[in-house]
Structure 1
Amino acid sequence: MNTDHDTGPTTGPDFGHDFTDDAGLEEALAALAADAPPTLLDRVAARRIAVPGPLEDVHVAFTDQGVAFLRAGMDERAFTAAWRERFARPLLPATRAPAGLEPALRTGRAGGLRLDLRGLSDFEAAVLRATATIPCGQTRPYAWVARQAGNPKAVRAAGSALGRNPVPLLIPCHRVTRSDGAIGQYVFGAPAKERLLRAENVDLERLAALARRGVHYLGSDTTGVFCHPTCADARRITPAHRHGFRTAADAQAAGYRPCLHCRPAPAPTA
């Protein structure tokens, strides 16, 4: 995941044309007296393409550095306007999606897909890196994301950073939920978030029921490990050996150690 902090829009040469609607850019490049470098157009403009995804009308914009922007529920004109408002950079049509994009959207696993996340603050980049580690079919609370991003007290700021996530679905902010069992806000709306989580077989009713009982962590008395409820290890705990805890501190006080996979508590210091 590319997180170089280039805070300004990419600029290109002045060809004496008005490209406010992106028209004529390719023709202007072709009219250069000398042959333009083959990568020049990608340095000046991003590409856009519509792709199938888990939500309707998914459009993405990508640069030579990777996928930079994704939105769902928009037509081509609205997507282009949203891109230009945020990035102030021309956007031209593409004929082929970046390698790995469609499998990532189909499986919910970005894998080695290249992302262009320039322009983020250090904390925003850290929030997105933490969110990217949440496995398909699992959820984590906003507080977990803030802690993994290096600032446990910045829970609200972590939520704001997720609200500005330029590539939802690829960085799965829909897997970040509230600790009270509610699914929380989402850039594409709460119904879309619920739909995505259910498609990943997240049992939202069970999570809400546990939260109402004040249970936010589950421990196994056979392994002595406690987890987030959606962790794959937590789902294997049989009812006879399952114990609920309100806080990670409660679980640790009872002699349980945090799961190494879902990391429900800070790693112990030496």
Structure 2
Amino acid sequence: MKAEREKWSGRVTAKALRFQTGQYELAEEEEICRIILVSGGSFTLVRGGESLLVNPGCVLLLGPGGGLLQQAGHIAPELLGCRFPAGVLPVLKNLMQRDFMPLFEPGAQTALYGPVQWSGRLRTLLGMMQSAESEPESPGMIYLTLILHYVEQECRSEKQDIRPRNETVEQICAYLAANYQQKFSLTDVAARFYLSPYYLSRLFRRVTGQSIVDYINGRRIEAAQRLLESTDLNISAVAEQTGFASAAHFRRVFRETMGTGPLQYRKSHRG
């Protein structure tokens, strides 16, 4: 098993994806699969004659094949991507009796919107994969196996809770994700999209499985995680920059979402 992991680990890589002139092209490589975590900004995935609006909080699974990511809105997308040969999947099936191949059919794409804790866990694993690539014996396959494990769990969860697609809700999600620092009310959002607050509330929950407040707080917590990990801003400043009404409100929502306080989170995610 160790020999098989070492054989493929060097070909399992992770990196931040940078948009050039508002787009990022996925090369037409027949045998490459991709997992892309969207931390900020929205974009449209154009692939196989179809288009899909992708918003922050999404983890995108792409089977072999090319495509184009086109920026949607004024905020440049923040993406952390992992790529690996499709040949890794049958190896994992043989070694672990886990069949991940249906998740990465050629030309296929799946957009997963899991809880903030779930996407945060994947972001941590992708970051560890990226940091470890220069090691003599890269543990890329180990990280990939863990990532696929969590991805498969979320796929099963979302299949049990089938939600309809709705372009209006997708546009609302893109707007909220781009403007999470602002103070919102349901009435404000409904008026912007020419809907009644009652109808918007029911539609948004039916399509996304969560309330508008929960969705906004999810984007704010994701932004706060990045600030806690990469800056020395105090808690009040982090709360202000991520749109919370107060430091106390931020602490409460952060603890409810992440299961730990922001200071403890910073301590455990700073080397």
TM-score (norm 2): 0.29
Name the structure where strand makes up a greater proportion of residues.
2
Greater Cα radius of gyration, structure 1 or 2: 1
Higher relative contact order at CA 8 Å, sep ≥6: structure 1 or structure 2? 2
Name the structure where helix makes up a greater proportion of residues.
2
